[in-house]
Amino acid sequence: MNKNTNKKASPNLFNLVQRFSVPLMFILICAVCIPLSGLSANMLINEIVTRMGRNAFLILSLLIPIMAGMGLNFGMTLGAMAAEIALIFVSDWQIVGIPGMVLAAFISIPISVLLGIFCGKILNEAKGREMITSYIMSFFINGIYQLVVLYLMGSVIPIKHGSIKLPRGYGIRNTVSLLSMRQKLDNLLAIQVAGVKIPVLTFIIIALLCLFIVWFSKTKLGQDMRAVGQDMEVARDAGINVERTRIISIVMSTVLAGFGMIIYLQNMGNIATYSAHSQIGMFCIAALLVGGASVDRASIGNVFLGVILFHTMFIVAPKAGAAITGDSMIGEYFRVFVSYAVITLALVMYETNKRRAKSAAGQQLQAAQDAEEAAGKEKA
Amino acid sequence: MNNEKAPLLEMRNIKKDFFGNQVLTDINLKLNEGDVLGLCGENGAGKSTLMKILFGASDITSTGGYGGDILIDGQKVSFSSPFEAIAAGIGMVHQEFSLIPGFDATENILLNREPKKSNIVSEVFGDRLDTLDRKEMDERAKAAIEKMGVSIDQHMMINSMPVGHKQFTEIARELSKEQLRILILDEPTAVLTEREAEALLDSIRGMSARGITVIFITHRLQEILSVCNKVAVMRDGVLVQEVPAKETSVEQITHWMVGRDVKGGSAAVSTRTHEDAKTILKIEKLWVDMPGETVRNVNLEVKEGEILGIGGLAGQGKLGIPNGIMGLYEAGGKVTFDGNEIPLNNPRKCLDSSFAFVSEDRRGVGLLLDESLEWNVAFPAMQIQNKFLKYYLGGLVKWRDEKAIREVTEKYIDELKIKCTSSKQNARELSGGNQQKICLAKAFALEPRVLFVSEPTRGIDVGAKALVLDALKKFNRENGVTVVMISSELEELRQTCDRIAIVSGGKISGILPASSSVEELGTLMLSNVI
Amino acid sequence: MTKDKFKAALKSFGLPRLIIAGFLLLLLIMAPFVGADLPTQISNIINRFSWNGILVLAMVPMVHSGCGLNFGLPLGIISGLLGATLSIEFGFTGPLSFLAAVVIATPFALILGALYGWLLNKIKGGEMMIATYVGFSSVSLMCMMWLILPYHSPNMVWGLSGKGLRTTISLEGYYIGALAKIGQINIGAISIPTGTLLFFALLAFAIWAFLHTKTGTAMTAVGSNPAFARAAGINVDKIRMLSVIMSTWLAAIGILVYEQGFGFIQLYMAPFYMALPAVSAILIGGASVNKATIMNVIVGTILFQGIVTMTPTVMNNMIHMDMSEVIRIIASMGMILFALTRKTEAAK
């Protein structure tokens, strides 16, 4: 027994380093870039805290589909679009502040649920290629979103206020101001610690979601999702409704992403109507992966570590890039490149690990056989 | 008479056919509480089909159901899904594990039957949001493991368990079901070590004492005699014998399993000897890592011009031999062909040395299902031997010669009587027998010197079987091609081959002339079954 | 019987494809009524076909070898862009610069294609998602490179700082219309870029011919059933690698042909989403995730480009609302979604 544990210890350390290679790499990047950027510690911490409040909820919404074995939900943008539509309505009705946000959250729910069900059904038809399908899905729904917001709002769907309509009389402007809601959530109960503003209420909401996710994983539904995520056939044989469970996981993710988007936008203070959602999915997924998550395993810890590391890089890269090359664009491109490279790396690692697991089973068999053969020879 | 209870399980005149192919005929069986029935028979004898019927498997209902009645406690039952069978108290442990790899034993034992605690949220949103009662889960799993009588770590993850413990987890899962009365174990000891198997047999005795009826399918006849009180032997879809275990012996069961009626073609049609012929293929110390069909230390000599049969039960390793030699699965050892050593793990080299292989996995490996028959027949010959090609630009461009391809395909369609609309038809649309003939045609087109044929008659109807075997024989006789034929059906081997090698427990257990009696071959087959 | 056959044909054609074809037909019929200039439109379609045809053709080898739809097209495009910019940097002008660009792009395409193929062989089964992100990563990496690499040609770098390439580089004086002007035919408003069409036809013929050779046959078999191909002695990884290199090279040539028609080199984020129109075009043409023919390429490109050119004008003239962008997104993405969810095509 003792021997066994000893044997396992050394590869474990190697595996650990390998598993956390992405976070380690990011710590290195940040360590190099922070001094180069010339940002003060105070400013940096302020920025990180702000971004934590802004993004954490959105990233947390990715956890549930990973639990259900559906990979990274590129379709979380669907929830973001639902939230934007809800916010457009609320600002048209001039309901301000926290009540406006709560109302928007309520309006976003049915839209998110519908989109989630649609997305879940399509993904059930494309088992084994959920990620590419949800990725294309986000583009497809973006087309529908544009149809609704750019053409139907104001012409078919009543929009009263001229300030958010395009001058031509229908369609929504490129930017919708959320001044009445701007950081209302963040500022309520906010405290200053050593010059760093901490949006306590936002953090409380994020903490509540974390608690919810922990609680959820202990429920029957959570258990079913994990079972479905690991082996659909076995789960089906045990009588679990696989398709329905998968759809529920996508619906939950979409609804949560919608709430997350409302928190994100109240912090920004305006909606970039046609672009706010398009990059959200990519940045959230990259942040989660930077935190050490993989396609089939992610935890709440990954989310927070990811937000800190990814956004530190995000803040310092342009300044550091400018300091090195004298061109701020380099840093801008660098952070985009890093986001994509991280996702690529995570996907490649996921696929190669899957294959390695398979070949390891073969090698084990072969070793057992050789041993037996050797034993047989000895006897002879 | 009056106080005699109805038997727990009764099967009356069970019949089943798959598209006109009769696989079960008039099976009658009675089992009482606490009975342990040993069910044996060769592969394809109908054991699995019978159990599937009892368990309400979907491939039975989807192929037109079955004939006859199943009675539990004297009440007629008919299960349209395994869930109904489970509700009626039937449990089944399959050969393939049905476990969630990342869950521990407890979670797997209680999969989808977890005890739950309700809470405020679940009151509103339904009971799927109940939280799991971990304490209760642990207790129930513990109770089930205790019931089984074999101790396993209930908090160990499945993927870090040894194979035997996975098997025990499955059994514990069935035992944790309160309503369980009949437990079907399908070759449970195949993956166990000797000690684990012994523990399992003890556990079966314990279940029986508790009044659970066990149906135990295995090829290890000794185990049957040691644990069962009844033995049932099936052959060709018929229940040939049902006797108390005390009154029989391993020899007798073997005889029932493989024995045919005296008349039924028991002598091979024509046995030839090739003792004087030179050894064309020599296999030394071959091991093959083919999952489920591993073999080791195979030594075999194939004489030029003969048909060598390789037989044995499923899972014993006979399929590993051709797949390993042809490089489809990892293999080691030495294979010498006509004096030259053939490198292993390289399909191309084997084909270059004029070997050909008809795989047992027709749809997976044997065919391009979505391409035309022409492509299927001509492809290997084109790639390996540059046949059916036209050369342009001084040989720089090797162009597919559609006309030559069509001619050769049509030739084989004619010769092998392949039923199809045209040579352009997709292979997917053909019936199993005709697909098999295409596979043969593909191998024939290579004009090999040694042809490996793996399970040539698996899943095809009787008429097509005869045609396929005749075609093989004709190919052997007329072209002087050495054939190595691997089959689970002894009778078929005896009718076609000259010599038969039997694989058992991953080793060659003996080589006999095809004229040997079925009993001799059968004894070899069961000699060191794993 | 004929009704069944008709139904089967309809089924294999696919509902989304039918809707798109019907929609284009409707646009063509309506065009004269709403006052759109039909000959100009047709001329546009032909020209855009000639620009895009090769990019769509680049899908074919990878689909054939079972690597799925080449979402990593931007990688090939980058090779083409390197060829284009280096050709100008080295001082080639006029139509000769096109030839130089092709020659310079080729080694880049071969090397990048080989690396890309090596990667895809490591991750069989997850090709499409990873291809997408390989494309994205390479485009964003090149964004930095366009700034850093020591280009000097005054026609390409930013005028003020004298370094870093511009986002759009005019091909005036270089290879604008290098192919299109060869034997160009003008009938009224219709102008036919004969040279470009011939060039497309040449490459399409080459691919068609390749698929009829021994190696091409092996490629199709690898895509159809890799286990079968392996058992028949084919080196599956090598064939897949070859197909990826071919696709990458075609993409490189494709972007150069696109540029000579369009008249500009577009750098930085421009290649980013170029894979998606090409993917949806071939799918609209009747291809699936693992089957594609030259006919699919031609039909698909015509249908896709037809919709892209016709919708803005017809829609604008009809309801004074330019919904073309939205319709293009919904139609093309819907088509890709449809192809991804086909179960029969997922097997092997």
Q: Using one digit for the tens of pLDDT, what is the confidence trace for A143-202? A: 999 999 988 888 888 888 878 888 888 888 888 888 888 888 888 888 888 888 889 999
CA distance A259 to C130: 29
CA distance C102 to B462: 62
- Rounded to whole angstroms, the maximal C-alpha distance in chain B is 94
The structure tokens listed for B221 are: 């006849």
Tell me, yes or no, whether A16 lies in a domain. no
Which chain A residues contact residue C346 at CB under 8 A?
A: 126-129
Nearest to C132 among A126, A135, A350 (CB): A135
The structure tokens listed for C27 are: 């646009």
The angle subtended at Cα B145 by Cα B141 and Cα B148, nearest 5°, is 145
Query: Between B and C, how many residue pairs show a Cβ–Cβ distance under 8 A?
Result: 74
Residue B9 dihedral angles phi and psi, to the nearest 5° = -130, 130
Contact check, Cβ <8 Å, A230/B130: no
Percentage of chain A beyond pLDDT 90 is: 37
CA distance B222 to B194: 12
Q: What per-residue confidence (pLDDT) applies to A144? A: 93
| Domain B1-89+179-258, CATH | 3.40.50.300
Mean pLDDT of chain B: 85
Domain(s) labelled CATH 3.40.50.300 in chain B stretch across 1-89+179-258, 264-354+448-530
pLDDT digits (tens, 9 = 90+) for C163-185: 788 888 888 888 887 788 887 88
CA distance B484 to B297: 18
Q: Do the beta carbons of residue B245 and residue B228 sit within 8 Å? A: yes
pLDDT digits (tens, 9 = 90+) for A208-231: 999 999 999 989 999 999 999 988
B58: nearest CA partner in chain A: A237
Query: Between A and B, how many residue pairs show a Cβ–Cβ distance under 8 A?
Result: 73
pLDDT digits (tens, 9 = 90+) for C90-117: 888 888 889 999 999 999 999 999 999 9
User: Could you tell me the pLDDT band of residue A372, with boundaries at 50, 70 and 90?
Assistant: low
C-beta neighbour count of C10 within 10 angstroms: 11
- Rounded to whole angstroms, the maximal C-alpha distance in chain A is 95
Tell me, yes or no, whether C46 lies in a domain. yes
Contact check, Cβ <8 Å, B107/A223: yes
Could you tell me if C230 lies within 8 Å of chain B, comparing CB atoms?
Answer: yes
Percentage of chain B beyond pLDDT 70 is: 96
Q: Do the beta carbons of residue C66 and residue C319 sit within 8 Å? A: no
Q: What region does A358 belong to: left with phi over 0, alpha with psi -120 to 50, or beta? A: alpha
Q: Which residues contact C235 (CB under 8 A, 6 or more apart)?
A: B348
The structure tokens listed for B16 are: 């089943």
CA distance A338 to B134: 43
C129: nearest CA partner in chain A: A132
Which chain B residues contact residue A235 at CB under 8 A?
A: 100, 111-112
Amino acid at B11: M
CA distance C188 to C191: 8
H/E segment holding residue A314: helix A300-325
Q: Is-above-0.90 flag for pTM?
A: no
DSSP-assigned beta bridge partners for residue B441: none
Indicate the number of domains in chain A.
1
Which chain B residues contact residue C217 at CB under 8 A?
A: 375, 379, 382-383, 400
Could you tell me if C147 lies within 8 Å of chain A, comparing CB atoms?
Answer: yes
The structure tokens listed for C165 are: 């390439």
Tell me, what's the ipTM?
0.83
CA distance B156 to B87: 28
Which chain A residues contact residue C143 at CB under 8 A?
A: 333, 336-337
Q: Do the beta carbons of residue B445 and residue B351 sit within 8 Å? A: no
CA distance B362 to B353: 23
Strand pairing of B182-186 and B213-217? parallel
Distances (CA, A) of B389 to B402, C211, C231: 8, 13, 20
Nearest to B314 by CA among B186, B185, B484: B186
Indicate the number of domains in chain C.
1
Q: Does position C4 have pLDDT exceeding 70, yes or no?
A: no
Tell me, yes or no, whether C313 lies in a domain. yes
Burial of B480 (0-12, 13-18, 19+ CB in 10 A): exposed
C213: Cα within 13 Å, side-chain hemisphere: 15
CA distance A131 to A282: 12
Contact check, Cβ <8 Å, C228/B366: yes
C 186-225 residues inside an 8 A Cβ radius of B: 209, 212-218, 220-221, 224-225
CA distance B343 to B39: 43
Tell me, yes or no, whether A7 lies in a domain. no
SS3 sequence of chain C? CHHHHHHHHHHHHCHHHHHHHHHHHHHHHHHHHCCCCHHHHHHHHHHHHHHHHHHHHCHHHHHHCCCCCCCCHHHHHHHHHHHHHHHHHCCCCHHHHHHHHHHHHHHHHHHHHHHHHHHHHHCCCCHHHHHHHHHHHHHHHHHHHHHHCCCCCCCCECCCCCCCECCEEECCCCCCCCCCCCCCEEECCEEECHHHHHHHHHHHHHHHHHCCEHHHHHHHHHHHCHHHHHHCCCCHHHHHHHHHHHHHHHHHHHHHHHHHHHCEEECCCCCCCCHHHHHHHHHHCCCECCECCHHHHHHHHHHHHHHHHHHHHHHHHHHCCCCHHHHHHHHHHHHHHHHHCCCCCCCC
The angle subtended at Cα A135 by Cα A129 and Cα A136, nearest 5°, is 95
Nearest to A327 among C129, C147, C326 (CB): C147
For residue A272, give the CATH number of its domain. 1.10.3470
User: Could you tell me the pLDDT band of residue A364, with boundaries at 50, 70 and 90?
Assistant: low
Contact check, Cβ <8 Å, B98/A239: no
C235: nearest CA partner in chain B: B348
Q: What per-residue confidence (pLDDT) applies to C10? A: 65
Which chain C residues contact residue A330 at CB under 8 A?
A: 144, 147-148
Determine which of A133, A289, A344 to mutate to test the interface with C (most C C-beta atoms within 10 Å): A344
Domain that holds residue C263: 35-181+191-339
Nearest to A373 among B131, B287, B291 (CB): B287
Domain that holds residue A221: 21-379
DSSP-assigned beta bridge partners for residue B309: B485, B500
Tell me, yes or no, whether A6 lies in a domain. no
Determine which of C144, C327, C328 to mutate to test the interface with A (most A C-beta atoms within 10 Å): C144
C-beta neighbour count of A321 within 10 angstroms: 24
Amino acid at C197: L
Nearest to A369 among B107, B114, B287 (CB): B287
Nearest to C122 among A127, A325, A352 (CB): A352
User: Could you tell me the pLDDT band of residue B15, with boundaries at 50, 70 and 90?
Assistant: confident
Q: What per-residue confidence (pLDDT) applies to A303? A: 93
CA distance A285 to A350: 14
H/E segment holding residue B311: strand B307-311
> Range with the lowest mean pLDDT among A88-92, A284-288, B31-35, B92-96?
B92-96
B357: nearest CA partner in chain C: C231
Tell me, yes or no, whether C14 lies in a domain. no
Contact check, Cβ <8 Å, C144/A337: yes
Nearest to A140 among C71, C130, C333 (CB): C333
User: Could you tell me the pLDDT band of residue C155, with boundaries at 50, 70 and 90?
Assistant: confident
Three-state DSSP state, B101:
coil
Nearest to B383 among C209, C218, C224 (CB): C218
Could you tell me if C100 lies within 8 Å of chain A, comparing CB atoms?
Answer: no
Does CATH place domain B264-354+448-530 in 3.30.1330.20?
no
B329: nearest CA partner in chain C: C231
Contact check, Cβ <8 Å, A215/B296: no
pLDDT digits (tens, 9 = 90+) for B122-169: 888 888 888 888 999 999 999 998 888 888 888 988 888 887 888 889
Q: Measure A352 CA to nearest chain C CA, in Å.
A: 6
Which chain C residues contact residue A352 at CB under 8 A?
A: 122-123
- Rounded to whole angstroms, the maximal C-alpha distance in chain C is 73
Could you tell me if C33 lies within 8 Å of chain B, comparing CB atoms?
Answer: no
CA distance A201 to A190: 7
A358: nearest CA partner in chain B: B291
Q: Measure C128 CA to nearest chain A CA, in Å.
A: 7
Residues of B with CB under 8 A from a CB of A: 82-83, 98-103, 107, 111-112, 114, 116, 122, 127-132, 287, 289, 291, 294, 296-297, 330
Strand pairing of B279-288 and B331-337? antiparallel
H/E segment holding residue B214: strand B213-217
DSSP-assigned beta bridge partners for residue B482: B450
Nearest to A273 by CA among A163, A136, A177: A177
Could you tell me if C141 lies within 8 Å of chain A, comparing CB atoms?
Answer: yes
Average pLDDT over residues A298-307: 91
Percentage of chain B beyond pLDDT 90 is: 13
C-beta neighbour count of B33 within 10 angstroms: 16
Which chain B residues contact residue A240 at CB under 8 A?
A: 112
CA distance A355 to A348: 11
pLDDT digits (tens, 9 = 90+) for C314-342: 777 777 667 778 888 888 888 888 888 87
A124: nearest CA partner in chain C: C341
Contact check, Cβ <8 Å, A336/C326: no
Q: Does position B1 have pLDDT exceeding 50, yes or no?
A: no
Strand B9-18's sheet: what is its strand order? B21-31, B9-18, B67-72, B75-77
Average pLDDT over residues A71-99: 91
| Token pair 């429920």: residue | A219
